[in-house]
Every structure is written in structure tokens, then in C-alpha cells.
Amino acid sequence: LMFIETIAMQHLMAEIIKKRYRLSKRPDIINGKTGDRIQRLVNDFQEESDFDVMILSPKVGGVGLTLTAANHVIHLSRWWNPAVEDQSTDRAYRIGQKKDVHVYYPMAVHPDTHVREHSFDLKLNALLERKRKLSRDMLIP
């Protein structure tokens, strides 16, 4: 599962993945424009036995989809609310999951050690982790 916020990037990434992995079809995309085809796309993904990719908007990650055929979750574009990211990740962590699930947060980090700590992705990741910790500490002292 690959979570990407912008629709244009979703379609571009689908083409890149199809070409890179020599897939017979473009990966399916679920976003706010998918409409009533969502369940059919989910069923097709769940039944696929070979390598497959599904691209989703982080916003649809919280609508109760079950995608236990996935064992890799990639958050290509980060969402400001860590609860939304966690709900998106949880699409793969459902009853019926038989595989280990791996979650990735790719980050663009400056190679210069003097500048590295000022990289936007590192700062965003630190902010999201602080928000996660704050949320956990409020619920479980």
C-alpha cells in the first residue's frame, strides 16, 4: 500500500510503478474520486496472489478498508495528523493478516551532516512523533 496525498502524484506514481516492475496493468488508485468502485478494487487486490501495489489517499485510509493482502505500507507523502497516518497503516493490520507488516516513511535528508538536522522531512517526522507521544500520554499516563 502506498499512501500519496495529491491525485496528480498518485497517477504519476502508478505509471512509474507499472513501468519499473513490468506490471500488466497500472496499480489501482483509491481516492475521493473513486466512488462506488472501492469495494471491487479492494476485492481484486485481496485476491491477487502475485506482486501488486495499491495507491491510496491518506484520507480514504480511515474509511474501514481491509487490505490484509498487503504487507508493506509506504507513506510517501506525510499527513500532518499522525492519527490519519496510523489509521492508514491499520488497513494492513486487520484480522486475517498472516504476514509481517513493514511500514516505511521515506525521507529526503540532506547528506551534509551540518545541514542534515534542518531537513524538512526530519523536522516533520519529529513533529509527528511528538504528536503521537502526546496522544499516547494523554490516554495512558
Is the per-residue pLDDT at 36 higher than 90? no
Q: What does each C-alpha distance from 111 to 74, 86, 127 come to in angstroms? A: 22, 29, 21
Task: Kindly report the pTM of this predicted structure.
Answer: 0.85
- Amino acid letter, 117: E
Give the integer Cα–Cα distance in Å for 124 and 103: 17
- Amino acid letter, 28: D
pLDDT at site 141: 62
pLDDT at site 65: 87
Is the per-residue pLDDT at 26 higher than 70? yes
Assigned C-alpha cell, 16: 512509474
Label residue 99 exposed, middle or buried (CB < 10 Å: 0-12, 13-18, 19+).
Answer: exposed
